[in-house]
Amino acid sequence: MSHPTWIGLLAALLTTTAFLPQVLKIWRTRSADDISLTTFATFTTGVGLWLLYGRFARDVPLMTANAVTLVSSGAILAMKVGFSRRLPRPGRSE
C-alpha cells in the first residue's frame, strides 16, 4: 500500500472514532447539556452528505468512514434531543 493510502486509512480511523468517547460519556451521564444542538445537527447533515457523495463517487473508504461517523454523530444528536426533552432543567419547574 502507498503512503497516501496509509495516511487516508489512519485519518479515517481517527475521525470515525473521535466521537465515541463523547457518545459514551453522554450515555453514562444521561446529559448532553454542554453539546451544541446546532453544531451537531449541522455536522451530522454534512457527514450524511459526504456519505452520499462517496456513494455517487463509488468510494468505499469514504463511504465507510462517513457511515461510522454518521452513526456516532447521529447518536450524539439523538441523545441531545432525547435527554433534553426528558430531564427538567435546573431553575425550571416542569
SS (H, E, C) 44-63: HHHHHHHHHHHHHHCCHHHH
Please report the pLDDT score of residue 41 as a whole number. 95
- Residue by residue, pLDDT tens for the chain (94 residues) are 888 888 888 888 898 899 899 999 999 999 999 899 999 999 999 999 999 999 999 988 889 899 999 999 999 999 999 988 765 555 544 4
439523538: which residue's cell? 78
Is the separation of the CB atoms in 23 and 75 below 8 Å?
A: yes
Q: What CATH number was assigned to the domain covering residues 21-86?
A: 1.20.1280.290
Please report the pLDDT score of residue 6 as a whole number. 85
Quote the pTM value.
Answer: 0.78
Please report the pLDDT score of residue 94 as a whole number. 45
Report, in this order, helix, strand and coil percent for the chain, each rounded to 5. Answer: 80, 0, 20
Please report the pLDDT score of residue 1 as a whole number. 80
Where do the domains of the chain lie? Answer: 21-86
Please report the pLDDT score of residue 66 as a whole number. 93
Please report the pLDDT score of residue 89 as a whole number. 54
